[in-house]
Amino acid sequence: MKKVGVAILGLGVVGGGTYKILSEHRELYKKAHDLDVEVVAVLELRKERALALGIPESKIASGIAEICSNPDVDIVVEVMGGVEPAKTFVLNALNAGKSVVTSNKELYCKFSHELEKAAKRNNCGLFYEASCVGGVPVIRALLDNLQGNKITSLMGIINGTTNYILTKMSNSGADYEAVLKEAQRLGYAEANPKNDVEGYDTVYKLSILASLSFHTKIPYTKIYREGITEISLQDIEYGKRLGYVLKLLAIGKNSDNGIEVRVHPTFIPADHPLASVNDSYNAVYITGDSVENVMLYGRGAGALPTGSAIVGDIIYCATHTNYRYSTFENTEFASPSTKFIENFESAYYLRLNAEDKAGVLSNVAAVFSKYNISIAQVIQGNDDNSDGFVPMILITHDTQENSIRKAVAEINSSGAGSEVVAVIRVAS
């Protein structure tokens, strides 16, 4: 039976969940995989946290050097989060000949080129399934199951915090600030939620997933980003009337014209498979040229779901000694040959405050015509027009992002009786 020694860096929510799974399932892994997986060391500043999990004091390391010099450590699990000191610790482990499993999406997104170089140089494994979509095995699917396809698109709900907030706004009728406070109280959102609600977390994950899907480096700096902080309950309700559900989507498309990658709130049809992905659940909808459509769904975060992905990587590492690395040149920046589409096409939802008089809609239509924007649907809101203005909702046919931006700017500067107060992209 093969013995596998594991060291865990960080015993927060995910690190604690990983230790729990490894401890409780040790006998299972012996029987099922002929592996004796043991946590032989941990690195945790809060000694009381380690002791509370039942970890013997003798296994609590004094620093990363002790982990790296321990001959019983085969695999180092990094679940600390953030860039430093996690980056330094992971590089130290790789340079000491230890394979690494990480859940750190920001670290891997920004510095995978450095980490992979160290892993190759030292013939180590580098695994990161837990960095994207919690317990959902999307990375393994892209690496092992879908590699026979040319992936043409992926679209995902890959941040549990924002999905929880938008679901609660839609179902309860509460506004953004009220739902955010509830999410913080329940532990779904951090005290400082910027990373989630402004879309940064989703951008990091999309960078990783799009690079794997399209076999070229997609730096996070190339991804268009827009968060949910400006979303109003009013727009969610109008979207419902039109048959749409609002989600923060990560979107990647690969065509002959180039690659587009974007993160923003998006209305999707209520009958789309992603529309029923609610609360903190995540899902990724992948389209391949041979397999057509595949959707992977499950818990996107949490101690045990993310721990499940980490342990899966540990077992995979222990049973596969021929380590594989990126299928593309993994550098800091995108390849000069990779073309990115910034002026992408989409349908759009626009809400206007329009003066309640004749001619206003025709003025808007004239501006849209100037920029070759075709209107697919118009409804008038039922809000009180005591101030002389009423909401007007427009849905466009597919058009270019730059055209919408120019049209909105012209409408808002014209003083012609209307103002665009909300623009949300619409997926087909």
Domain with 64 in it: what CATH number? Answer: 3.40.50.720
Lowest mean pLDDT across 1-5, 184-188, 373-377:
184-188
The reply to whether 335 falls in a domain is: no
The reply to whether 207 falls in a domain is: yes
The reply to whether 236 falls in a domain is: yes
The reply to whether 200 falls in a domain is: yes
Mean pLDDT over 309-319 rounds to 97
Nearest 10 degrees: Cα torsion 114, 109, 77, 47: 110
Mean pLDDT over 289-308 rounds to 93
* Of 152, 195, 383, the residue nearest 285 (C-alpha): 152
- Residues 356 and 275 both lie in one domain: no
Domain count, the chain: 3
- Residues 116 and 156 both lie in one domain: no
- Dist CA 200 CA 425 (whole Å): 19
> Phi and psi (nearest 5°) for 393?
-110, 125
* Of 221, 210, 205, the residue nearest 105 (C-alpha): 205
- Residues 158 and 288 both lie in one domain: yes
* Orientation of helix 105-121 relative to helix 200-214, angle to 10°: 40
What is the CATH classification number for the domain harbouring 295?
Answer: 3.30.360.10
The reply to whether 324 falls in a domain is: no
Q: What is the pLDDT of residues 24-34, one digit of tens each?
A: 999 999 999 99
- Residues 165 and 271 both lie in one domain: yes
**Residue from 98, 205, 247, 253 carrying the catalytic annotation:** 205
**pLDDT at residue number 384:** 59
Q: What is the pLDDT of residues 55-79, one digit of tens each?
A: 999 999 999 999 999 999 999 999 9
What is the CATH classification number for the domain harbouring 409?
Answer: 3.30.70.260
- Residues 157 and 279 both lie in one domain: yes
* Of 274, 191, 255, 261, the residue nearest 226 (C-alpha): 261
- Residue 407 domain boundaries: 345-426
Percent of the chain with pLDDT over 70: 98
Q: What is the pLDDT of residues 112-142, one digit of tens each?
A: 999 999 999 999 999 999 999 989 999 999 9
The pTM score is 0.95
- Residues 240 and 112 both lie in one domain: no
The reply to whether 260 falls in a domain is: yes
- Residues 290 and 150 both lie in one domain: yes
- Residues 153 and 277 both lie in one domain: yes
- Residues 177 and 236 both lie in one domain: yes
The reply to whether 304 falls in a domain is: no
Top pLDDT among 341 and 419 is at 341
* Of 350, 393, 341, 354, the residue nearest 371 (C-alpha): 350
The reply to whether 288 falls in a domain is: yes
- Residues 162 and 31 both lie in one domain: no
- Residues 152 and 289 both lie in one domain: yes
The rounded Cα 336 to chain-centroid distance in angstroms is 25
205 is catalytic: yes
- Residues 239 and 191 both lie in one domain: yes
